[in-house]
Structure 1
């Protein structure tokens, strides 16, 4: 076989691959899509997935099903998606547990970076610090000063061990040099009950859980833990602007496919996500749950996963958090 013939056959093969890829993207989806939620039905991740499923189904003309596969801090659902066909018909809507479970549990049945294809960030769940009015501190600087003057006397509640809210509390302990004790709960609701009752004075939780009680005067709001102020409580400062630059720990949610999903399909799904998040009805449904819509490119989401995985790995190791 001549060199020219070999090159011609190679060029033909490349052309056929390009045509096939374009055909895949053009025909997608030709069957139902499944969005896996690695948590029980009725929770925040589930609600967000069902909002997106409705919009996808309406826009793409195929049934979009939501399937709950809870367990092991989202590992069960993620492993199911990792082992699914890499064709873009099985997706997962995952919060930033994705960057916590590896450092926390050690060896996983999958690689959080290599084995998933980020599609887009879906939403942000801003976290904040709230406290019972019995605490002497009225502002965030006063809270830090009181904690420093009373080492070991301040307890803080979270929705559970190794949740983003728990890690925000541990991060504050490290950056502020304060000694406070974590009281983990099995969910946000029982934690909120005890904080409202004054059994635990401080609570790291979501805007959705804390803000209504802060506005009602039942709790005191100290700061939000993200990189910027939240539109749900624009008057509340961030921890970062209150003397701890670089402090940033919110809860994000994103849509991923199994690694190796066709790039053209990922691009199409990304466009669908951004189109859905631009709709006012979606914004309203998110706001009712205390979520801010995000969107953006797959590359932006992938960069966030890498950066947050490195941050959480260091924090969990430094603090010695165990599952």
Structure 2
């Protein structure tokens, strides 16, 4: 027991108060100041869009500002490490991705361990990528792109949000399934990669669907396929890769909300409950559908199992491609 005075209480009360009092008090008081959601990528990408969408609703629920802070670099690990080392009081959260939670084995060394230094709050949403090309690329469909890549091994360049990011992993899996070689060009976030793609500095990329429709409508990029097993309403007329020449290729991205591992379990459950409630709001679900995202809202335990399953999948991709980042 933490205080001698507890000895005067009935035994059952004392035993219950010692381990649970502080965490429950902390949970009841949360939040006591503005909450930060660190997005470990540049502003304007899908992760940023989703963080602001969820953050706005959490702010209304909590009565405190929820501030989105972009900290790009190292495939998301600069921002993720910042959150991992933050105080475990729930006021600093992370908008996480595959690259952080499931593809960390790509790095020879990391200054933190995402498996043990971060705790999942929930899996927010899952979304397909779109394989998009610069309009100058002569391929008009997926089969033509594969033929072009096979005829010119390594000549086509694909950009990503950074080494180990979901957009990088989608490209690596594509090369393995299609049997082609392309050159990977990592950026500090998908916005920078998209800028270079539209300028013609790179030929293609696998971008999360939410940011693609306006670019495709403007003719800035051409969408050849989506990486889900089914078509996506946000990109009408764009076929799934499974129906366009690659029946075994599915590579969805997913976004999470995570916290420092030092956050007490009761507070983690509170964060989960509040975030899932926001995701269940009809307006949020409509917005997610418009973005081409699939609402998830998993429990803390379901999220942990999801991380483990995805880690196994993407570790196989990394090992097969022999990808290492020092």
Q: TM-score, normalised by structure 1?
A: 0.79
Give 1:226-265 correspondences, 5 Å limit: 226-242=228-244, 244=246, 247-265=249-267
Provide closer, same or farther for how the CA distance between residues 236 and 72 of structure 1 changes in structure 2, counting only shifts above 3 A: same
Residue 164 of structure 1: aligned partner: 166
User: Structure 1, residues 214-261: CA drift from partner, whole Å, max 9, x if none?
Assistant: 345564432212354333125433334555455333332211122242
Residues 42 and 189, structure 2, Cα contact 8 Å, conserved in 1: no
Residue 83 of structure 2: aligned partner: 81
Residue 208 of structure 2: aligned partner: 206
Cα distance in 1, alignment partners of residues 234 and 61 from structure 2: 29
Residue 315 of structure 1: aligned partner: 317
5+ unaligned residues in a row in structure 2: which ranges?
1-8
Q: 1:115 aligns with which of 110, 114, 117?
A: 117
User: Structure 1, residues 273-299: CA drift from partner, whole Å, max 9, x if none?
Assistant: 122122344346556766554322222
User: Structure 1, residues 56-105: CA drift from partner, whole Å, max 9, x if none?
Assistant: 22212344344444443333332232223323333222222213662222
User: Structure 1, residues 29-55: CA drift from partner, whole Å, max 9, x if none?
Assistant: 151252241436633334433332332
Q: In structure 1, the residue corresponding to 2:112 is in which secondary structure?
A: coil
Residues 39 and 68, structure 2, Cα contact 8 Å, conserved in 1: no
Q: TM-score, normalised by structure 2?
A: 0.78
Cα distance in 1, alignment partners of residues 101 and 31 from structure 2: 32
Provide closer, same or farther for how the CA distance between residues 289 and 262 of structure 1 changes in structure 2, counting only shifts above 3 A: same
RMSD over equivalenced CA pairs, Å = 3.5
Cα distance in 1, alignment partners of residues 294 and 101 from structure 2: 20
User: Structure 1, residues 191-215: CA drift from partner, whole Å, max 9, x if none?
Assistant: 4455456564433223244333434
Residues 35 and 93, structure 1, Cα contact 8 Å, conserved in 2: no
Residues 214 and 221, structure 1, Cα contact 8 Å, conserved in 2: yes
User: Structure 1, residues 132-186: CA drift from partner, whole Å, max 9, x if none?
Assistant: 45555433234334444x1417503213442322321221111121233334455
Give aligned pairs, total. 315
Provide closer, same or farther for how the CA distance between residues 21 and 226 of structure 1 changes in structure 2, counting only shifts above 3 A: farther
Q: In structure 2, the residue corresponding to 1:113 is in which secondary structure?
A: helix
Residue 15 of structure 1: aligned partner: 16
Cα distance in 1, alignment partners of residues 87 and 191 from structure 2: 37
